[in-house]
Structure 1
Amino acid sequence: MIRESEVTPEPQLSQWLRVDVVHELSTLARMRAEWDALLDASDAGPFNAWEWLYPWCRRIAPDRRPLIFTARDRTGALVGLMPLGFELRRVMGRLVGRLAFLGETHIGSDYLDVVARRGQEEAVTRAFANALRETHGSWDVLDLTDLREDSLTVKVLRETFPDLEVGVTDRYVCPYETFTPGEPFDAFLKRTGRRDNYLRRRKWLEKQEGYRIERTEAPGALAAPMTDFFRLHAARWAADGGSQGIKGKGVESFHRDATQLLAERGRLRLYTMKVGSQAVASVYGIVHRDTFIYFQSGYDPAWRNKSVGLVLVGETFKDALEAGLTEYDFLRGTETYKSDWTTKQRRTVSVRVHASTGAGAWFTRHESAARSAREVLKRVLPEDTVERIRRLRRRRAAV
């Protein structure tokens, strides 16, 4: 049986880097300033931020043990992080020791990965891979999800574990758009599939008494717009059995924490469309370097025919262009409204490492068999029955 105490690697030197591990939440809580400085000096994605992962540990996975690899240079400066967590899963009566990224579940974290200072990505990633190899006897499965498909980590793990099974599978398509610096909003609109409808709907809304769009960024001003956001997001998905993106009070508590922390860093953009005193649409966005991240949204179904969601998304594009940002990222999902605004896509992948025999291999076979069984059911059951089951699962998950 695997014991959690066995997962911690001994401190080691890899060339000029010292690799250590953080496995206490209290230590993670004190790392914010150092973590933020490293993220700013890296090319890592937005959901590798301390402001995202620390509240995830507290609100979503308090029972998962942090196992955060750190790399420091000769001066003691932090030059790399690999934010992992360890859990023991009991599957069909069998214990499986699993290592995975912090932030992997419940909250839609795309582009998880190693965080490394620019120019030092190769050395840092290899140092962490070597440390993982040193501890392989204490975990059964290394399960890393939602990396960008061109992630250096995937390549390095394949090279570091030639004697183990290293499987890479596709995850999500992420639509995005880039802007030419200084590009006017009108010029951008002309190359979208939404221009005419957006302009017509916006013109009608602007004639309504009390119409306005409020942008909230200040940490002390989030309570009311976040309440509006949760209400509108839930209303948008109620007819479909509930949201898959924000399920239950625990996830709402996470987002209350995360938005507060992101706002303290100047990273949050919360847009609320109002008509009179009524909030009718909301967009929850994050700014990461020169990119606007469209994270989630919601709208009042009674206003659906007025295209309030379409107009508010258009206004976030306008705001991003006027702020001098050069990219807009819709994250995972290929919904039609995203393709109408964008022309580019990137993909995410997952990578799983385990021995060819033993608990890790058994865990993978068990998951594959369960997935195949679900696919068979989808093919043989009537479509409306499958949809009812899906909605029931969403409602149970929300509870």
Structure 2
Amino acid sequence: MIKIEIVQSEEGFLALASEWNALLDASGLGNIFLTWEWISTWWTCFGRGRYKPWVITARDGNDGRLVGLLPLALQTVNLAGLRLRQLSFMAGDRVIDHLDVIAKPSHSHAAMPFFVDCLVGKSVEHDVVRLDAMKADSAFVKALLDTIEQRPDDASHMAIDSICPYLSLPDTWDGYWASIGKQSRYNFTRKAKRLQARASGPVSYRRVETKAELSDAIRELVRLHQARQQQKGNPGAFAQKRAIEFHTAVAERFLDKGWLRLYLLTVGEQVIAAIYCYKFGGKFSFYQSGYDPAWSECSPGALIMLHAVREAISEGAEEFDFLRGEEPYKSLWTSTARTDLRLRIATSMPGWLILRAYQLAYQGRRAIKANLGWGNRHAKAAS
């Protein structure tokens, strides 16, 4: 027997802290973006005051053990003059991937219909469900889409693919170095020599391992990332002060847990590149990077990425995950990818009107890209 509850208070959400990561470990998902440290830090920095917790929990009816949860948040939004209640994944406004219901495998099948009913059942009170970066092959997503597609009069939806490149890692660095081919080895060697020739001091890579180093390292990461992005005309991931505060807090908590992998490339005392990754289970997740544009001719961004891959292999990681996005540089590292889904589901007439506007806007963007010759092989919309 499964007992379902929707936790809708901050106190109730925070009370889940002692059970959260144990359930995540038991689920086998191995996703750092589903850890208590990531989700609760998001709540502190972005959720409180803007969202209301809406965490679906499943407990064993016999002993009360937590056997499943789906961490959602409820927000009232004004869209096109309509005031709507929108459900979204906690931390879904950040760049995170491969989200799913967190459940014990032994209880997942029994709990799944209840989770789906809480989102799209006939008695729901919200207008729109917005789920970004959901695992496309998860049992939860399949059950959710199956339910929607069987009831076309009750709910409309939109599903958009997100491509998430990743690199499967060999057991040894020598194995990886041999696999990339003679030309790539030559290019990396040439870049390293060019950097060494220009440097006025020793060139070194170092990993941030203590709290004493962390604040300066985060500051350098932000500086280098923003400098590169602004050169390209982009706002950058750290344009908002709150984003810097969030990642500073996450990095500190991950450092305590042994999950942070923040590397700096230095020439003498000058930091010219930084890469910000996480290690959780057998996976390295690349989150962000930056380099000094003044050193572009030496390709410090590529060199520090290569260093991070080497470190991942040395630690026995099975995968280097580049997360979502089809940026051209990722294709230089891997040709393999998995798919996540962005889901938009209407559960009321006002929600349907907004969903239809989303669909029309998305179709317009696709048409513009097609006319420009960009194409879009990975998107789909349904209603």
TM-score range for the pair, normalised by the shorter chain length: 0.7 to 0.9
Change (3 A) 1:343 1:366: closer
Identity %: 31
Change (3 A) 1:354 1:72: same
Change (3 A) 1:215 1:30: farther
Unaligned regions of 5+ residues in structure 1, if any? Answer: 1-15, 382-399
Query: Is the 2:158–2:359 contact (alpha carbons within 8 Å) kept by the matching residues of 1?
Result: no
Deviations 1:309-337 (A, max 9, x none): 11111111111111111111101122232
Tell me the amino acid that sits aligned with residue 353 of structure 2: W
Q: 2:315 aligns with which of 314, 323, 330?
A: 323
* CA distance in 1 between partners of 2:231 and 2:40 (Å): 33
Per the alignment, in what secondary structure is the counterpart of residue 287 of structure 2? strand
Q: In the TM superposition, what is the alpha-carbon distance from 1:286 to its structure 2 partner?
A: 0.6
Tell me the amino acid that sits aligned with residue 89 of structure 1: V
Per the alignment, in what secondary structure is the counterpart of residue 109 of structure 1? coil
Report the counterpart of residue 78 of structure 2 in structure 1: 90
Q: In the TM superposition, what is the alpha-carbon distance from 1:189 to its structure 2 partner?
A: 1.9
* CA distance in 2 between partners of 1:23 and 1:220 (Å): 38
Per the alignment, in what secondary structure is the counterpart of residue 131 of structure 2? strand
Q: Is 1:174 matched with 2:164?
A: yes
Report the counterpart of residue 389 of structure 1 in structure 2: none
Per the alignment, in what secondary structure is the counterpart of residue 328 of structure 1? strand
* CA distance in 1 between partners of 2:343 and 2:110 (Å): 20
How do 1:192-271 residues align onto structure 2 when only pairs under 5 Å count? Answer: 192=180, 194-205=184-195, 208=199, 209-271=201-263
Unaligned regions of 5+ residues in structure 2, if any? Answer: 373-383
Report the counterpart of residue 46 of structure 1 in structure 2: 32
Q: 2:9 aligns with which of 15, 24, 30?
A: 24
Q: 1:114 aligns with which of 96, 101, 111?
A: 101
* CA distance in 1 between partners of 2:334 and 2:161 (Å): 20
Per the alignment, in what secondary structure is the counterpart of residue 124 of structure 2? helix
Q: 1:146 aligns with which of 125, 129, 133?
A: 133
Q: In the TM superposition, what is the alpha-carbon distance from 1:168 to its structure 2 partner?
A: 4.6
Q: 1:37 aligns with which of 14, 22, 25?
A: 22
Report the counterpart of residue 377 of structure 2 in structure 1: none
Per the alignment, in what secondary structure is the counterpart of residue 27 of structure 2? coil
Tell me the amino acid that sits aligned with residue 17 of structure 2: R
Q: In the TM superposition, what is the alpha-carbon distance from 1:206 to its structure 2 partner?
A: 5.1
Report the counterpart of residue 46 of structure 2 in structure 1: 60
* CA distance in 2 between partners of 1:272 and 1:133 (Å): 46
Q: In the TM superposition, what is the alpha-carbon distance from 1:80 to its structure 2 partner?
A: 1.2
Q: In the TM superposition, what is the alpha-carbon distance from 1:203 to its structure 2 partner?
A: 4.0
Q: In the TM superposition, what is the alpha-carbon distance from 1:119 to its structure 2 partner?
A: 4.0
Larger deviation: 269-278 or 240-249?
A: 240-249
Query: Is the 2:158–2:345 contact (alpha carbons within 8 Å) kept by the matching residues of 1?
Result: no
Q: In the TM superposition, what is the alpha-carbon distance from 1:215 to its structure 2 partner?
A: 0.5
* CA distance in 1 between partners of 2:329 and 2:364 (Å): 32
TM-score (norm 2): 0.87
TM-score (norm 1): 0.84
* CA distance in 1 between partners of 2:34 and 2:231 (Å): 33
Query: Is the 1:290–1:326 contact (alpha carbons within 8 Å) kept by the matching residues of 2?
Result: yes
RMSD value, Cα:
2.5
Q: 2:357 aligns with which of 336, 349, 366?
A: 366
Query: Is the 2:163–2:324 contact (alpha carbons within 8 Å) kept by the matching residues of 1?
Result: yes
Q: 2:172 aligns with which of 180, 184, 188?
A: 184
Tell me the amino acid that sits aligned with residue 363 of structure 1: I
* CA distance in 1 between partners of 2:281 and 2:100 (Å): 17
Q: In the TM superposition, what is the alpha-carbon distance from 1:195 to its structure 2 partner?
A: 2.3
* CA distance in 2 between partners of 1:78 and 1:135 (Å): 26
Query: Is the 1:157–1:166 contact (alpha carbons within 8 Å) kept by the matching residues of 2?
Result: no
Q: In the TM superposition, what is the alpha-carbon distance from 1:237 to its structure 2 partner?
A: 0.5
Q: In the TM superposition, what is the alpha-carbon distance from 1:41 to its structure 2 partner?
A: 1.9
Query: Is the 1:215–1:271 contact (alpha carbons within 8 Å) kept by the matching residues of 2?
Result: yes
Report the counterpart of residue 79 of structure 1 in structure 2: 67
Report the counterpart of residue 393 of structure 1 in structure 2: none
Report the counterpart of residue 392 of structure 1 in structure 2: none
* CA distance in 1 between partners of 2:235 and 2:264 (Å): 19
Report the counterpart of residue 386 of structure 1 in structure 2: none
Q: 1:312 aligns with which of 281, 299, 304?
A: 304
Per the alignment, in what secondary structure is the counterpart of residue 41 of structure 1? helix
Tell me the amino acid that sits aligned with residue 159 of structure 2: T
Tell me the amino acid that sits aligned with residue 127 of structure 1: F
Tell me the amino acid that sits aligned with residue 360 of structure 2: A
* CA distance in 2 between partners of 1:134 and 1:367 (Å): 22
Number of residues of Structure 1 aligned to a counterpart in Structure 2: 363
Per the alignment, in what secondary structure is the counterpart of residue 60 of structure 1? helix
Query: Is the 1:70–1:81 contact (alpha carbons within 8 Å) kept by the matching residues of 2?
Result: yes
Q: 1:275 aligns with which of 267, 276, 281?
A: 267
Q: In the TM superposition, what is the alpha-carbon distance from 1:276 to its structure 2 partner?
A: 0.7
Query: Is the 2:263–2:274 contact (alpha carbons within 8 Å) kept by the matching residues of 1?
Result: yes
Query: Is the 1:19–1:131 contact (alpha carbons within 8 Å) kept by the matching residues of 2?
Result: no
Change (3 A) 1:155 1:49: same
Change (3 A) 1:302 1:195: same
Q: In the TM superposition, what is the alpha-carbon distance from 1:231 to its structure 2 partner?
A: 0.5
* CA distance in 2 between partners of 1:360 and 1:59 (Å): 28
Q: Is 1:99 matched with 2:91?
A: no
Deviations 1:118-147 (A, max 9, x none): 343323333312333557431111221111
Larger deviation: 287-296 or 157-166?
A: 157-166
Report the counterpart of residue 123 of structure 1 in structure 2: 110
How do 1:150-165 residues align onto structure 2 when only pairs under 5 Å count? Answer: 150-161=137-148, 162-163=150-151, 164-165=154-155
